Structure 1
């Protein structure tokens, strides 16, 4: 079977699936943006996408779809050249988020098309307007948010099937589209993400923290309100006052992955650090920036309490990986998190906005770690039983894709 993966930042969600299909004897290729610098072993093709100038008078509703469809056109033309050279995939698997799959059925109508259906935006009821501190959307903003679904709906309507990583993310799609979506998580490698009482991490100031130390962790791709950075920072003063030996380790960049940038030219990291820094012992607050994966693994293994917050939005892989490593996850009581964490059983849930409750829960987790040993074990068991890469998710993903191959 010939399988073509399409992702502007390949391998993305196909990190394990593409090589596994290759190992099973399938001819696997990828198509990605020429600017993608990530390293991967899968052979393939590249397209060059340059965003066209946009008429300043164009509405924001139109601009979003124009951007996605423009990329879709570029990808389709690149694929048409591949077809003319004789390349004919049996199955195409692409991410729907950037418009790349929009016109691929026009190039290869014979191929089966699967789209990765990660999230369906809403004007109300999900991330938009969730946090009133940053967003009380006007009706125009509601329409703009809802309008971001145009290419997502089109992508799924023209596909043979969709795939979502979690049930809640699949549920964001309207019922007529949800019927075509299969739920399979990308998978956590529990052989790597596992408890290790010998783990240690060297912090930027040279201090070494080890498993068993009083370490509070917070991890995200970027430090921003969508992932609750502001709530976490506001909870820290009370936590650090009550726990004078605690080391706070914060991982994440200072860019914006989701939502708006702060006003005034500062990043969100500095904005919220400045808000509370006079109340913190900054010698015990360690900003790591973006770290190598091996460092992240070790950090989850030394974590005594791991704070994870998110708006009702895409669930971070890092939360599941923390659970697999046996960390005590103190998570926001929001719909994506509740799908995995049951309060008091395999983690602790706290109202996203309740800063005092966050301080109390994190202090308690740091003070008496032995009281949460059962929760740590249950957290790992949750991942082993439902989200393990090699025994559950990857076999299910392979079976799903192979099911669309030639009979």
Structure 2
């Protein structure tokens, strides 16, 4: 078969699918992606084609139109068509506009699209403290963000959402096109480690008493970073043997009171004074190091956005971490308070600290909660459970060659 994947951040959530199709030498598998930090990464049997997000002929520094990624991908697809490469299936991700013209180039090829998020203006907390309704400019901005998503919803033959909560945010008119199937967690990689201690080339915490961990892709307001940081002084005072590891990129830049630009992390650290010998920051970790960190964690704090449940939380649960997460709808789709994790009120630093200290005080009581967390991932979110569901949809799309009714 001829299979085309489209994702700007290779391999994205298509890693397991691409690996599977690449292993079969009868397939001609192509992955269209943009230049990113994984530009040198390859998947055996998969041909990677890089598209440019800049329009040819535009002056350096001139902003590209929002349709640029879609046009670049369309040009690649048109080139493949001229070479008599006709896909049996195109699999893409929505949101960035890369799939905008897929059906114009290959109108008869089934198009399966993965949908992460639709900006529902009636249910949009910008961060964990926000209860105010978005103002007009914000609502207009979000409508613009939805335009490529709506185009993909209309054009695709079928779509996949990772969770029921995410699907519920999309317009009901398109729900019959959307199946709920998670991307899958590698529970073979992310598994418990007995008496694991954390040590990297630059940091040795193998001798500390207890380890509190916090992970996010970026240290940002909507990740609950400020609330967590403000809770730490009380935790460190009450638990003198505790160390904290915070993993997240320091990319967010905002203006301070004087109007000067500064990193969000630096502004928070100006307000919250912490012992640098006990609070450790790391930009990112490779998979093996990240797994060891989770295995060594006594309490893992996951304050991801109130929009989706991140892979960070699910990987932590797969490692039998004791996860403390906020009381929000997407989290409650995964965690039952006191059964497979702890749901907490993150409206104040004192309440966060209280939960963390309580969990640290009774580690043996939390053993059953940790084990249930792992069980939840194995039964519902493991790649072994979800990849066959994705393949079932793919097979029906290819064989029927027409839109599917809802599956799952």
Structure 2 counterpart SS, 1:93: strand
Give CA-to-partner distance per residue, 1:62-86, whole Å, 9 cap, x none: x9xx843222122112211110111
Query: Is residue 286 of structure 2 the alignment partner of residue 292 of structure 1?
Result: yes
Q: Which residue pairs with 1:78 in the alignment?
A: 76
Query: Is residue 43 of structure 2 the alignment partner of residue 47 of structure 1?
Result: no
Q: Distance in 2 between matches of 1:87 and 1:369?
A: 58
Q: Which residue pairs with 2:339 in the alignment?
A: 345
Q: 1:166, 1:184 within 8 Å by CA — same for their partners in 2? A: yes
Give CA-to-partner distance per residue, 1:188-227, whole Å, 9 cap, x none: 11111111114222267643337x9411000011111111
Q: 2:213, 2:300 within 8 Å by CA — same for their partners in 1? A: yes
RMSD of the alignment, in Å?
2.4
Q: Distance in 1 between matches of 2:91 and 2:202?
A: 44
Structure 2 counterpart SS, 1:315: coil
Give CA-to-partner distance per residue, 1:17-69, whole Å, 9 cap, x none: 1111233553321111245615021213222221667999xxxxxx9xx8432
The normalised TM-score by structure 2 is 0.89
Q: 1:190, 1:388 within 8 Å by CA — same for their partners in 2? A: yes
Q: 1:87 to 1:34 in 2, by over 3 A?
A: farther
Structure 1 counterpart SS, 2:54: coil
- Name stretches of at least 5 consecutive residues in structure 1 with no aligned partner: 57-62
Q: Distance in 2 between matches of 1:261 and 1:395?
A: 44
Q: 1:137 to 1:356 in 2, by over 3 A?
A: same
Q: Which structure 1 residue ranges, 4+ long, deviate > 6 Å from structure 2?
A: 53-56
Q: Distance in 2 between matches of 1:23 and 1:205?
A: 37
Q: 2:78, 2:105 within 8 Å by CA — same for their partners in 1? A: yes
Q: 2:322, 2:370 within 8 Å by CA — same for their partners in 1? A: yes
Q: Which residue pairs with 1:59 in the alignment?
A: none
Q: Distance in 1 between matches of 2:271 and 2:365?
A: 33
Give CA-to-partner distance per residue, 1:93-134, whole Å, 9 cap, x none: 01111111111111011100011111001334124376349x
Q: Distance in 2 between matches of 1:365 and 1:305?
A: 7
- Name stretches of at least 5 consecutive residues in structure 2 with no aligned partner: 401-408
The worse-fitting range, judged by mean Cα deviation, of 350-359 and 329-338 is 350-359
Q: Distance in 2 between matches of 1:80 and 1:216?
A: 51
The worse-fitting range, judged by mean Cα deviation, of 345-354 and 380-389 is 345-354
Aligned with 1:114 (options 89, 112, 115): 112
Q: Which residue pairs with 1:382 in the alignment?
A: 376
Per-residue deviation, 1:139: 1.6
Aligned with 2:359 (options 365, 372, 378): 365
Give CA-to-partner distance per residue, 1:326-346, whole Å, 9 cap, x none: 000000111221110111111
The normalised TM-score by structure 1 is 0.90
Q: Distance in 2 between matches of 1:183 and 1:218?
A: 28
Per-residue deviation, 1:147: 2.8
Q: Which residue pairs with 1:18 in the alignment?
A: 18
